[in-house]
């Protein structure tokens, strides 16, 4: 590769030097033949390219070949004007190709210039310009489609990155082609000017300086100049054709030749009609059947071959499909694929399709991508891909959320309406369809767009249907995050930490704890909405504590104490002290006396009447704090935190229980009430 780079750099410098230093006739002949070789090669590669990006170097190559051709023009012009002879290649084109007739040669040269400049170059320039503009305009839509496919699980993150990179390369390619097409246009203009300069300059030099007869000078220099122009224009025409092919080439699985045969000659009926038309043309016109019959017969023969080939292909495909279906029926993998359970599924009725369909303005798929990023920052967990699909068995306006194949939440939304939630006293002027906000169960109304203004003026919180669904999905994923963290996900997190902090991972796993034990600790933290993003601190604590204890519950409590600052700041409203509930000393003592010591951190053995009173007081205090917009937090002794959490997990799932050991000294504490039994 290094030698190739040096060769290309040397060739580029050689092209520049060739414009200044004279080149002898023998070397010029070789360079002109190389020019023909390069042009033919580029054309063949362009015809066999499946996608434009497969030949992404073409714009740069077009610039180099144009510069090379102009350098040849300068060298040949120097020889024509100084020696009256530019080598055998130019002499052959001037004498043999155009039979020594300068007028005929000049006319052919002008025809080639017109074909290149007006037909091919101008068309390719316009196509490149439009393709570049459309490619740039389509980039946002393509990016959204990639995000939607990744969110739906159709592609992996690596495939999404590759597709985004291809979109960027495609935009760069067509932008470069838009500029490179100007090189071909300028080259055509320069060729005409160079020929004119050579003819006029040669005539002046031959008559005035070499004292040749004017007729001989005109014939000699015109013949050489036209030959030089033809030698330049034929490679230029090849490159112009290659440019047009590259900008008009659509993405395909095969090359141009295969596409032409498959797409043009794949309709036998059309070929039969053409064969009949050609035959009638020879029968009823003076052209005669002798001239048209071979073409008509060839078209009919080709149509017959296409019919036979198509029938054989259909029969082969049918036989192959039968064999595949028979093999699938016997294959155990067919049944095993039915056992796969998706981690997270979002199913909706057909009436909610506009929420998901981007063509109808739906942005729910984009919101799900943002939800996964938000929860990754908030919880430190990469939520699995959410499978989004419609379900005709659901009501049109209904949706449901499944975790591991089991429905955990659901709701209904009314499209074209907004969900309005009252801040306190209801405004009787605000009317709508009564409902409950699905994420938190608050009473609400579905109001139309005209009532939305009235609701907002009355202080209602008004959100659109997509935001309602996104909020509900976010809360469900946050509440069930611990169920989405398995051993494989834990191993992925450990490998991520290993990439920048390998020492703690190598010490902890598997020497002290197994992956399963680490997973249980992380799941315990997520169950109480504690972020595991600071994974290094968690693993450091487990490495220290795991040498003395293996119980995941005790390990979790040790980790919580290590994350005291994070936990306090997580549940504290910024700029305000953290309001907490506490037990009265008599109640806390009764709870400690009721502890049943055993495996792990023990459990409570309260009298049922006492436990009912404690639960009722906690329930009332929690509702009171929720009503004023504060998070209910219960502060207890470290020995009581875990037993209380186990007891109240189902009864008061939204109650946060902290121990005194989990308090950050920098956080201000404010009492929100004392729980007693009186």
Residues 556 and 515 in one domain: yes
Q: Residue 652 sits in a domain of what CATH number?
A: 3.40.50.12790
Structural domain ending residue among the three candidates 274, 295, 326: 326
* Two tokens, residue 434: 């009564």
Closest to 45 in 3D by CA, of 213, 175, 239: 239
pLDDT value for 599 = 47
* Two tokens, residue 337: 């694929």
Residues 584 and 452 in one domain: no
Residues 396 and 296 in one domain: no
Structural domain ending residue among the three candidates 449, 482, 515: 482
Residues 290 and 234 in one domain: no
Asked if 650 contacts 656 with a C-beta cutoff of 8 angstroms, the reply is no
Q: What are phi and psi of 182, to 5 degrees?
A: -70, -30
Query: Is 336 contained in some domain?
Result: no
User: Could you tell me whether strands 595-596 and 656-659 are parallel, antiparallel, or unpaired per DSSP bridges?
Assistant: unpaired
Query: What's the average model confidence in pLDDT over 519-527?
Result: 92
Residues 314 and 195 in one domain: no
Asked if 131 contacts 247 with a C-beta cutoff of 8 angstroms, the reply is yes
pLDDT tens-digit readout, 526-557: 988 899 999 999 999 999 998 888 888 889 98
Residues 275 and 291 in one domain: yes
Residues 368 and 410 in one domain: yes
Structural domain ending residue among the three candidates 458, 482, 506: 482
Q: Residue 536 sits in a domain of what CATH number?
A: 1.10.8.540
Q: What are phi and psi of 582, to 5 degrees?
A: -135, 160
544 Cβ contact list (under 8 Å, min separation 6): none
Query: Is 594 contained in some domain?
Result: yes
Q: Does residue 649 register a pLDDT over 50?
A: yes
Residues 435 and 304 in one domain: no
Q: Residue 478 sits in a domain of what CATH number?
A: 3.40.30.60
Q: Does residue 505 register a pLDDT over 50?
A: yes
Query: Is 344 contained in some domain?
Result: no
Query: Is 340 contained in some domain?
Result: no
Number of domains into which the chain is organized: 5
Closest to 660 in 3D by CA, of 642, 640, 635: 635
Closest to 365 in 3D by CA, of 381, 343, 388: 388
Angle at 618 between CA 614 and CA 624, to 5 degrees: 150
Domain hosting 669: range is 571-678
Residues 126 and 62 in one domain: yes
Query: Is 221 contained in some domain?
Result: yes
pLDDT value for 218 = 66
Residues 312 and 369 in one domain: no
Query: Is 88 contained in some domain?
Result: yes
Residues 310 and 245 in one domain: no
pLDDT tens-digit readout, 405-453: 899 999 999 888 899 988 777 888 888 889 988 888 888 999 998 888 8
Q: In whole angstroms, give the CA distance from residue 172 to residue 180.
A: 12
Residues 155 and 204 in one domain: yes
Query: Is 41 contained in some domain?
Result: yes
pLDDT tens-digit readout, 559-575: 988 988 888 888 877 77
Closest to 580 in 3D by CA, of 638, 640, 658, 678: 658
Query: Is 337 contained in some domain?
Result: no
pLDDT value for 311 = 76
Q: Which residue has the higher pLDDT, 618 or 187?
A: 618
């Amino acid at each position: 590769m290094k030698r190739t780079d040096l060769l290309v750099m040397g060739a580029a410098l050689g092209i520049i030097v060739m414009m200044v230093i004279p080149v002898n006739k023998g070397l010029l002949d070789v360079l002109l033949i190389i020019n023909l070789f390069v042009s033919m090669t580029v054309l063949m590669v362009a015809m066999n390219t499946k996608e434009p990006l497969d030949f992404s170097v073409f714009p740069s190559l077009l610039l180099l070949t144009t510069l090379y051709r102009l350098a040849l023009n300068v060298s040949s012009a120097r020889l024509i004007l100084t020696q009256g002879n530019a080598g055998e290649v130019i002499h052959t084109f001037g004498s043999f190709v155009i039979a020594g007739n300068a007028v005929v040669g000049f006319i052919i040269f002008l025809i080639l210039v017109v074909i290149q400049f007006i037909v091919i170059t101008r068309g390719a320039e316009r196509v490149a310009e439009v393709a570049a503009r459309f490619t740039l305009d389509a980039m946002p839509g393509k990016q959204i489609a990639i995000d939607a496919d990744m969110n739906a699980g159709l592609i992996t993150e690596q495939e999404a990155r590759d597709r985004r990179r291809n979109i960027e390369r495609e935009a760069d390619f067509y932008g470069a082609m838009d500029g490179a097409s100007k090189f071909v246009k300028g080259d055509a203009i320069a060729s005409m000017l160079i020929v004119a300069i050579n003819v006029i300059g040669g005539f002046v030099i031959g008559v005035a300086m070499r004292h040749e007869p004017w007729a001989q000078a005109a014939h000699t220099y015109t013949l050489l100049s036209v030959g030089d122009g033809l030698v330049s224009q034929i490679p230029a025409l090849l490159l112009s054709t290659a440019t047009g092919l590259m900008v008009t080439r659509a993405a395909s699985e095969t090359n141009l030749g295969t596409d032409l045969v498959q797409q043009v000659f794949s309709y036998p009926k059309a070929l039969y009609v053409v064969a009949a038309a050609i035959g009638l043309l020879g029968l009823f016109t003076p052209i005669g059947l002798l001239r048209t019959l071979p073409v008509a017969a060839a078209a009919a023969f080709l149509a017959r071959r296409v019919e036979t080939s198509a029938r054989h292909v259909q029969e082969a495909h049918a036989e192959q499909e039968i064999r595949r279906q028979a093999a699938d029926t016997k294959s155990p993998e067919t049944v095993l694929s039915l056992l796969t359970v998706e981690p997270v599924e979002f199913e909706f009725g057909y009436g909610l399709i506009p929420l998901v369909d981007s063509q109808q303005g739906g942005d729910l798929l984009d919101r799900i991508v943002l939800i996964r990023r938000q929860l990754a920052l908030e919880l430190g967990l990469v939520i699995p891909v959410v499978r989004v699909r419609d379900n005709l068995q659901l009501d049109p306006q209904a949706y449901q959320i499944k975790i591991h194949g089991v429905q955990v939440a659901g709701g209904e939304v009314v499209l074209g309406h907004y969900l309005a939630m009252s801040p306190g006293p209801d405004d009787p002027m605000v009317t709508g369809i009564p409902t409950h906000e699905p994420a938190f169960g608050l009473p609400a109304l579905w109001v139309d767009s005209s009532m939305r203004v009235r609701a907002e003026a009355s202080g209602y919180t008004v959100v659109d249907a997509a935001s309602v669904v996104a909020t509900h999905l976010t809360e469900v994923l946050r509440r069930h995050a611990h169920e989405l963290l398995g051993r494989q996900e834990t191993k992925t997190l450990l490998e991520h930490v290993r990439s920048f902090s390998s020492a703690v991972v190598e010490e902890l796993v598997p020497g002290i704890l197994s992956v399963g034990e680490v997973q249980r600790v992380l799941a315990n933290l997520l169950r109480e909405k504690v972020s595991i993003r600071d994974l290094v601190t968690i693993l450091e604590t487990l490495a220290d504590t795991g040498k003395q204890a293996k119980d995941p519950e005790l390990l979790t409590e040790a980790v919580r104490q290590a994350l005291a600052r994070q936990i306090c700041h997580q549940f504290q409203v910024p700029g305000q002290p953290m309001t907490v509930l506490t037990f009265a000393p008599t109640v806390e003592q009764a709870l400690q006396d009721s502890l049943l010591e055993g495996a792990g951190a023990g459990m409570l053995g309260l009298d049922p009447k006492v436990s009912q009173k404690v639960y009722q007081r906690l329930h009332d205090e929690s509702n009171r704090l929720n009503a004023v917009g504060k998070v209910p937090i219960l502060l207890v002794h470290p020995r009581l935190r875990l037993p209380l959490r186990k007891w109240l997990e189902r009864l008061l799932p939204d109650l946060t229980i902290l121990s005194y050991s989990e308090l950050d000294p920098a956080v201000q504490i404010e009492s929100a009430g004392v729980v007693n039994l009186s």
